[in-house]
Amino acid sequence: MVCFSALVILSTIATTLATPVKRDVELERFVFRRNNSTDLSRRGNPTYNQDYVAGGDVIFTPSGAGTFEVQWDAPTAADDFVVGRGWSTGGVSPITFSGNFGAGSGTGLLSVYGWSTNPLVEYYVVEDSLNPPSFGTLKGSFTSDGSTYTVYENTRVNEPSIEGVSTFNQYISVRSSKRSSGTVTVDNHFNKWGSLGMSLGSLSYQVIAVEGWGGEGIATQTVSN
């Protein structure tokens, strides 16, 4: 989402999450994927690790029970990273996360992140942030999980994606009352996006992600469903 740009251990070191997705330092970078399912039942334990680092000094430490820690010193805008834990295939059931988000400087984001295909979409549900980028075109707002979320859409042209260099949209929900622990009712976001003509396709991986650049910080999160 950033530059704008379940639980399985995602380990991709290419472009933003799961696939190298390099973006300008002004808009986007998140990933989530839908498997055309409306099943709200619990998913299995998070076993997917997301580990994308473009530069800087980033130490990502996943551990048992869906927990991960990341410490970073990424002094320039080019030193972008996205790390986290989740599922290799996304879904619509709620995701619970708990811990801390200690972005000290630069830009930092704590989000549900994923991609879909057919159509190709990169999406974010931003729960906490420091010095966030511009998110794109304002589409509306709604209430979920005790807070108002503002919805944005952005188009990336000839940018890296999970399908290679492509043109794709980004769907972004940004929470007004920031938090580093809570439960995200994912289906509420998907439904709101759909009502605004922002449709997802088949879901790829889905993670609780920490992303940052141009600064330093530390975060620890445990993800469950």
Which residues are catalytic, by number? 122, 211
Please give the structure tokens belonging to residue 218: 């530390």
Residue with tokens 């949209």: 169
Two tokens at 58? 């980033």
Amino acid identity of residue 133, one-letter, is P
The owner of tokens 């709620």 is 94
What SS3 class is residue 160? coil
SS3 per-residue string spanning 72-134: EEECCCCCCEEEEEEECCCCCCCEEEEEEEEECCCEEEEEEEEEEECCCEEEEEEEEEECCCC
For 190, the enclosing helix (H) or strand (E) is helix 186-195
Structural contact between residues 115 and 32, judged by C-beta atoms closer than 8 angstroms: yes
**13, 27, 64: which is closest to 224 by C-alpha?**
64
Type of residue numbered 91: G
